[in-house]
Structure 1
Amino acid sequence: MNGTSQTLSITEKVGYALGDLAANLIFQTLVTFLAFFYTDVFQIPAATAATVIFVVGILGAFVFTPIIGLVADRTHTRWGKFRPWVLWTALPFGALSLLAFSTPSLTGQAKVTYAFATYSLLVLVYVANNLPYAALSGVLTGSMAERNSLSSYRFVAVMVAQFIIQVLLLPLVLILGNGDKALGFHNTMTVFAIIGTVFFLITFFTTKERIVPTHEQKSSVRDDLADLARNRPWLIMLSVTVLLFINLALKGGMYIYYFKYYLSETQLATFLQTIGFNRFIAGLNRILVGIGLTNFQWPKDAPTSAFSLFNALGIIFMIVGIGFSKRLADRFGKRDVFAGALFVSTLFLLDFYFFSPNAIGFVVMSYICHGFFYGITIPLLWAMTADVADYSEWKNRRRATAIIFSAMLCGLKIGLSVGGALVAGILAYYGYHADAAAQSPDAVNGIRLTVSVLCSLPFLVAVVLMCLYEINKPMELHIEQELGARRLEASAAS
């Protein structure tokens, strides 16, 4: 099998990408709305919500992820190592997503226990699904150019999911719940669970594992862990991933508060009217009423509409950035393009501290620019992790794809838990009160500081770390050529 063609069909790339769309319908909801759901919908105190998010995230990072990584690398079925995990977790993922965003009639400690239990199980199944799914990209093909292409397909799907969550989720919650946010979240997550399950099945049936370790490459758990400890590119990617997801959780979780409590509602309404958004929505509502969908009209709340538009434009330009990613990486190498684009995107985040509550146009333009440059980096993070798996095989003559990719999931969980807990923790520290008509100046300043300065710090540290990452363009080509020759020899010998 190692000697088969390493070229991927469009069907396989699309089928693989749908798995990330399915996972990100839930993941993006966790990043953007979990703190909001716990504090404003399920009515858990902000400090308690921060504890739940942090503890479960640490469990996911340091318990669930290493165990799943080690087990997945030692999975042997007629379908391969990693594809079966996508199949096995499809239904549990959907069911637990629905339970985690449900609001049963509980009070006090019972409510906290329910949140902790459902979030823990969801994170466990998420890891069991997404770690093998991510590792699958490292065994679909040995071609780094094909991996760059696969990553671009994959992260267009991620951006579609992000668009759905950040732009449409709040309106869907209000529409499907008829104004009741608790019912709206339940009904919306039901739809996502069904769609996600179907997409995971498509991923399973349309992909094929081509890179299969030879018998000589089999290793013990001790060997795998020793290889990781000596693998500096892996350690750097782990650290970078932690930092990136701290940023994503911080800004994703805090933007909704930024729009609700910092930006001027009057100016948001004026901005929407000036750019023609209100006319567009009025026309959309007339169409919905005309076909009998009277309950599916867009909400009239200005912060909700402006927040959706803000996210929509950012995501559109992230997709544009993703479109440039492969060409830039093929020419200059993943490392240099990733570090450069990440640095420029950070500058546009810092701008948010200097904007007044009335500067709606500048807020939107800054986020568009941030989205474009950050979009360039999105496919490269995962493609570089596949390169690290190749680097480990090249250096140690043993391949342990899933445990290498555990860096990504471990870092993701640490970043998500730290960033998500920081959102709730910062709100609690600055005296935030859920559903208050207006927040204190301290609370508003905490929100403003978080979406600018605090969000920028993880990105800046990640840029510095990339200077220590040794897999540049020449090394990428050298590793690919040498591993290709080894696999051909192994295939001929077998």
Structure 2
Amino acid sequence: MNNSTSQKLSVLEKVGYSFGDLAANLIFQTLVTYLAYFYTDIYGLKAADASAVTLAVGLVAAFLFNPLIGVLADRTSSRWGKFRPWILFTAVPMGVIALLAFSTPDFSYKGKLIYAAATYTLLLLCYASSNLPYSALSGVITGDMSERNSLSSYRFVAVMFAQFFVQVFMLPIIIYAGHGDKAAGIEQVMTWMAILGTVLLLITFLTTKERIVPRPEQKSTLKEDFSDLSKNKPWFIMLVLTILLFVTLAMKGGSYVYYFYNFVDRPALANLISPVIAGLNGMGINFFGSDPVSAGLGLFNAGGIIFQIIGISLSKKLADKYGKRDVFKTGLFISTLFILAFYFFTPSNVILMFGSQILHGFFYGITVPILWAMIADVADFSEYKTSRRATAIIFSAMMVGLKAGLSIGSALVTWILGLYGYIGKAGAAGADIVQPASVASGAKMLVSIYPSIPFLIGVGLLFFYVIDKKLEVQIETELKARRAANAEADNLAESAK
């Protein structure tokens, strides 16, 4: 490994790297929060068909696109490095496809299904081609564990900003921009998001540098890479954990819009948020007033996200002191308790809903930066055991988990709602439909009991994850020594020429 450059990162590089996650999450958070709602209530697909498209395309993307991109990225060699070229060349295509995926062409119903499947497939292919190398880049920017924790914190503050915009402002802006026509509104919003995302990815490419470069004699075959993975117990645990986490995030994230429209008591919600809306109107922020339910949902999400950011700010200090595994396990368990609390709320318990969301956001926020730092640690663990580094293929496995979890969780939203009798709208401008009473119960279960199950299984898995604080330090020390020795050998060999 080449270790000739400093492992310390400038603030500029950390911010520039984080912009890549800001760009990716403008898309990812939209998929988590509104894909199901877009298909059923804006584009007009039946709940069962939306579930089938989301699951089938998502699983193909998870188990085909991600391993393929991981293998190709690990074998990329260019003057820009292994992973940065992928960020550069996918910036524009991803923006264009994201816009197309949330457009509503006037096709027949069969045509709509084909269009949804095709554009969603292309979007997930572009996303994998950009975000997988971007994630793997964090494993080669620096080998310093503390710097890696810091980089993750910068990265996921950017995630929270993207999440804040999508979950707080996006639906009210869509309604406002489209003058009530959600199809027209979402196309306007996605156009500007696509332009911004493209610019942010280009900034990431320009401001980052790959420092951990495999020595030529350490190149491995594909068979060796998969053999290493098969012996890597922490990798298996992180793969399953990632699937479970994103099943929950997609399930509850995609269900909140249905929960607010079908379960929450509207007069109680209006009474709680009316002073806030009046204050925002006085500041000239008037797009919240056109739909009180979307405004309430936005403010509900805002509370959770703000406290997630506070949790993120504490994450590095806690992880440095106690180790990533133990902090992650504790934060995940406590945050799950506040998801379970939603089962006990009545429609008028709006204050309790907001309070539980805030506390859930805080404790889950502590875990947010740690996940990807732990995956980078798994890449180090593999190198520590085998003396070979295959960063992208390890991250690609985690991206398989992310995409599989997202696909399963999103498909579960529409499938479970269908089981409870949910009726989608006929189209973007369709009139409001009176849902069966059972839909309210389904929406409550989708934000409480159902999403709690994967989180609790994840907590159990972490008891078997062996990379604790002591082993983190041991791996870091050993790899630094190896890289320094390799760098010295390279310098001596160069001097002898």
Pairwise TM-score range, normalised by the shorter structure: over 0.9
Correspondence 1:279 to 2:278 = yes
Worse overlay, 441-450 or 248-257: 441-450
Letter of the 1:250 counterpart: M
Deviation at 1:437, TM superposition (A): 4.0
Contact kept in structure 2, 1:341 and 1:374, CA below 8 Å? yes
- Judge conservation of contact 2:176–2:290 (CA < 8 Å) in 1: no
Q: d(CA) in 2 for partners of 1:431 and 1:317?
A: 35
Q: Measure how far apart 1:271 and its partner are.
A: 1.0
User: In the aligned structure 2, how far is the partner of 1:213 from the partner of 1:237?
Assistant: 24
Work out the CA distance in 1 between the residues paired with 2:95 and 2:289.
27
The match for 1:422 is 412
Give percent identity, aligned residues only. 56
Counterpart of 1:338 in structure 2 is 328
Q: Give the equivalent residue in structure 2 for 1:442.
A: 438
Structure 2 counterpart of 1:427, one-letter code: L
Name the CA distance, whole Å, in 2 between partners of 1:460 and 1:150: 28
- What secondary structure, in the 3-state scheme, does the structure 1 residue paired with 2:448 have? helix
Q: C-alpha deviations, 1:342-375, integer Å up to 9, x for none? A: 0000000000000000000000000100000000
User: Letter of the aligned partner of 1:313 in structure 2?
Assistant: G
2:382 maps to what in 1? Answer: 392
Partner of residue 291, structure 1: none
User: Equivalent residue for 2:428?
Assistant: none
Structure 1 unaligned segments of length 5 or more: list them. 289-295
Partner Cα distance (2:397, 2:371) in 1 = 11
1:464 aligns with 2:460: yes
Residue 365 of structure 2: aligned partner = 375
3-state SS of paired residue (1:213): coil
Matched residues in 2 for 1:270 and 1:90: separation? 44
Write the distance in 1 (CA, Å) between the matches of 2:270 and 2:57.
39
CA distance in structure 1 between the aligned counterparts of 2:297 and 2:268, rounded to whole angstroms: 13
Q: Which residue of 2 aligns with 1:492?
A: 488
Secondary structure at the counterpart of residue 241 of structure 1:
helix
1:179 is displaced (CA, Å) by 1.6
Q: Post-superposition shift, 1:300?
A: 2.9
Asked if 1 retains the 8 angstrom alpha-carbon contact of 2:214 and 2:389, the reply is: yes
| 1:297, distance to aligned residue in structure 2 (A) | 3.6
Contact 2:4 2:487 in 1 (8 A): yes
The residue number in structure 2 matching 1:52 is 53
Residues 142 and 211 in structure 2, CA contact (< 8 A), matched pair in contact too: yes
Does the residue aligned with 1:341 lie in a helix, a strand or coil? helix
Supply the distance in 1 between the matched residues of 2:79 and 2:97 (Cα, whole angstroms).
28
Letter in 1 for 2:228: D
Q: How far is 1:151 from its partner?
A: 0.3
Q: Does residue 1:353 correspond to 2:315, yes or no?
A: no
Question: 2:74 matched to which residue of 1?
Answer: 73
In the alignment, is residue 314 of structure 1 matched against residue 304 of structure 2?
yes
Contact 1:135 1:405 survives alignment (8 Å) = yes
Paired with 1:2 and 1:66, the residues of 2 have a C-alpha distance of 28
For residue 467 of structure 1, give the secondary structure of its aligned residue in structure 2: helix
Asked if the contact 1:241–1:412 (Cα under 8 Å) also holds between the matched residues in 2, the reply is yes
Counterpart for residue 120 of structure 2? 119
Listed as ranges, the gaps of 5+ residues in structure 2 are: 426-431, 491-497
1:301 counterpart residue number: 291
Q: TM-score, normalised by structure 2?
A: 0.96
Query: What amino acid is the match of 1:158?
Result: V
Contact residue 261 and residue 438 of structure 1 kept, 8 A: no
Q: AA paired with 1:418?
A: I
The answer to whether the 8 Å contact 2:98/2:190 transfers is: yes
- Cα deviation for residue 474 of structure 1 reads 0.5
Aligned to 1:167: 168
Could you tell me which residue of structure 2 aligns to residue 292 of structure 1?
A: none
User: How many equivalent residue pairs?
Assistant: 483
Partner residue, 1:261: 262
Kindly state the Cα deviation for residue 392 of structure 1 after the two structures are TM-superposed: 0.2
Aligned alpha-carbon RMSD (Å):
0.9
**Contact 1:237 1:407 survives alignment (8 Å):** no
Q: Where do residues 395-414 of structure 1 align in structure 2 (5 Å cutoff)? A: 395-414=385-404
Output the TM-score relative to the length of structure 1: 0.97
